[in-house]
Amino acid sequence: MKIYLLRHSETDWNRQRRIQGHSDIHLNKNGIKLAGLAAAGMAGIPFDLCYVSPLARACETASIILSRNRHFLDKGMGPMIDARIMEIGFGVWEGLHSHRDFGEINRDDFEDFYLNPNGTYCPEGGEPLANVIRRGNEFIDELIAEPAYQDKTVLAVTHGCTMRCILSRFSDDPEYFKHPHVPYNCEAAIMETDQDGKLVLTDPGSIYYDSSLAVNFYGY
């Protein structure tokens, strides 16, 4: 099995550096463009299955990617929505600016919540990071355990934090979440099962369009 874990394309809230979380924000014009470019770059990948977060920005990205994928259009199964790969919920912080320069969120609270899987702070209505790690990895473990999928190539369209939570399973760095890179819009990590059925990270992240168009809107 080969799994492409892909972050959704750009939204206005990405560009404005606002926290999205469970807020259902659509792709902006540049997001549609980037997804189209990524679709062209990924058109030759034989996707058999697609799982997608229920949030609009992920669903719209998946639709654009798959619209250019002849193999999926001819033989694919899906796409299928799975809430386990939706974004972390930020509760009352959603809509606020994430970067310290705006001063809208107490930095100690932010770092304890967003950068520490053992943190004790959670904004009202938010979801602990540890829960996102749990549900994300339950999704992956269930996927790789399915006998019918062992020879399949899977696209899973998700979100920045959820993507990092899933990929943390490959790191033994206790400071993993404190490294400031959020995956770029339409960046994909690739995981594959080896001959023993073990899941291996074969590509921590690639983009399938001109890299000069990729923007990191975050940093903490």
Residue 192 resides in a domain:
no
CA pair distance 136, 84, nearest whole angstrom: 6
Residue 94 resides in a domain:
yes
Residue 123: CATH number of its domain: 3.40.50.1240
Residue 9 resides in a domain:
no
Count structural domains, the chain.
1
Contact (CB, 8 A) for 189 and 203: yes
What does each of the 220 residues of the chain score in pLDDT, given as a tens digit?
Answer: 999 999 999 999 999 999 999 999 999 999 999 999 999 999 999 999 999 999 999 999 999 999 999 999 999 988 999 999 999 999 999 999 988 888 899 999 999 999 999 999 999 999 999 999 999 999 999 999 999 999 999 999 999 999 999 999 999 999 999 887 789 999 999 999 998 889 999 999 999 999 999 998 875 5
Strands 77-81 and 2-7: unpaired
Domain holding 125, by residue range, is 17-150+164-187+200-213
Predicted TM-score (pTM) of the model is 0.96
